[in-house]
């Protein structure tokens, strides 16, 4: 599998495109989920009215029993408003205390809620204390809004749609991008094997189309050049064969000519030696001088013929 991915461009483009589309879709989903408007069901001011009743109730109880009213009110508001709000209780110095034990600090300050949506603040005291405590409501960030819940409910279907859409988009994108490149690759392999009969028809005007057209032009020019080179080689081979044939003819001619010239020269040489040494019949010098002259005339004619043949043949 890994070897196939590494060796095929279309598979690489497919998986990279699939991954890119999936990442972009889920990133967009995350941003939409984070930026979804907070569609709350209840108005915080309506819920804040309950604090006025709680403030009156706390003013009639002792401090040590205040947690009972705070816990009950928090549970009651959770049931009435689907846990959409949180109740906070603060000491006179602005430090937040636990609803279960007002003597225990939770580490917050009333100023921490200046920039969040909150209800009207109410003050209260206890029957055994004149110190003023503060009550307020804020939105419960831990609960999901209706929009968030709707988005999360559609997550499985959305994942399936994104996956299928990514696969289809990646398939067509990889096919669109790699199909002309495959044609160019096949044509280049044919050219490497000295086969210039192929043609790459991409039908595109972008860089890939320009590359295909340039490769087609190069293939045609190489085919033309190769044809001309083959014709030139054939002509050269024919010239070489002809030259070899002429060379053989020259050799044969000169061999025959040397043989023809050797005979009269031998005759003349023999007659001259016989006359020089006055051997036998060669004592009649006049007769053999005439014969030698005749043979010399024939030899001259043969030399003239050789000279004429040489000029005609360009030797």
What does the alpha-carbon distance between residue 79 and residue 98 come to, in Å, rounded to a whole number? 20
Label residue 199 by pLDDT band (50, 70, 90): low
Q: What is the rounded average pLDDT of the residues 182-190?
A: 74
The pLDDT, as a whole number, for residue 90 is 92
Q: Is 121 helix (H, G, I), strand (E, B) or coil?
A: coil
**Cα separations (Å) of 168 from 14, 18, 22, 117, 227?**
10, 9, 12, 45, 47
267-313 pLDDT, tens digit each: 777 767 777 666 666 666 677 677 777 778 777 777 777 777 766 66
**Cα separations (Å) of 73 from 56, 92, 113, 121, 251?**
12, 21, 20, 16, 132
Contact criterion met (CB below 8 Å) for 99 and 76: no
Q: Is 139 helix (H, G, I), strand (E, B) or coil?
A: strand
What does the alpha-carbon distance between residue 154 and residue 163 come to, in Å, rounded to a whole number? 14
Q: Is the model's pLDDT at 20 over the cut of 70?
A: yes
CATH number 1.10.287.130 is the correct assignment for the domain at 245-313:
yes
231-268 pLDDT, tens digit each: 888 889 888 888 888 778 777 777 776 776 677 777 77
Q: Is the model's pLDDT at 29 over the cut of 70?
A: no
Q: What is the rounded average pLDDT of the residues 147-152?
A: 65
| Structure letter (DSSP) for residue 185 | H
47-91 pLDDT, tens digit each: 778 888 888 888 888 888 888 888 888 888 888 887 788 889 999
Tokens of 2: 């890994």
Q: Is 126 helix (H, G, I), strand (E, B) or coil?
A: strand
**If you average pLDDT over each of 14-23, 107-116, 193-202, which comes out highest?**
107-116
What does the alpha-carbon distance between residue 91 and residue 107 come to, in Å, rounded to a whole number? 12
- What mean pLDDT is reported for the chain? 76
């Amino acid at each position: 599998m890994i070897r196939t991915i590494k060796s095929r461009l279309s598979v690489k483009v497919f998986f990279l495109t699939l991954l890119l589309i999936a990442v972009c879709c889920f990133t967009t989903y995350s941003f939409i989920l984070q930026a979804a408007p907070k569609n709350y069901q209840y108005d915080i001011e309506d819920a804040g009215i309950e604090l006025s009743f709680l403030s009156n109730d706390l003013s009639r109880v002792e401090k040590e029993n205040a947690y009972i009213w705070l816990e009950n009110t928090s549970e009651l508001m959770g049931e009435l408003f689907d846990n959409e709000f949180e109740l906070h209780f603060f000491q006179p110095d602005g430090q937040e205390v636990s609803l279960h034990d007002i003597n225990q600090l939770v580490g917050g300050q009333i100023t921490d809620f200046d920039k969040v949506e909150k209800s009207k603040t109410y003050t209260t005291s206890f029957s055994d204390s004149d110190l003023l405590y503060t009550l307020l409501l804020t939105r419960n960030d831990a609960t999901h809004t209706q929009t968030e819940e709707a988005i999360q409910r559609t997550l499985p279907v959305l994942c399936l749609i994104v996956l299928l859409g990514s696969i289809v988009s990646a398939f067509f994108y990889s096919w669109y991008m790699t199909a002309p490149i495959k044609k160019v690759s096949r044509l280049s392999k044919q050219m490497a094997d000295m086969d210039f009969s192929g043609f790459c028809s991409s039908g595109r005007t972008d860089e890939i189309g320009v590359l295909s057209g340039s490769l087609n032009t190069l293939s045609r020019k190489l085919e033309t050049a190769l044809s001309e080179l083959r014709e030139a080689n054939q002509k050269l081979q024919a010239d070489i064969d002809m030259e070899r044939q002429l060379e053989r003819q020259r050799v044969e001619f000169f061999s025959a000519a040397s043989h023809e010239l050797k005979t009269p020269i031998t005759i003349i040489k023999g007659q001259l030696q016989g006359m020089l040494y006055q051997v036998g019949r060669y004592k009649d010098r006049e007769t053999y001088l005439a014969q030698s002259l005749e043979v010399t005339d024939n030899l001259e004619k043969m030399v003239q013929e050789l000279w004429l043949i040489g000029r005609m043949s360009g030797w």
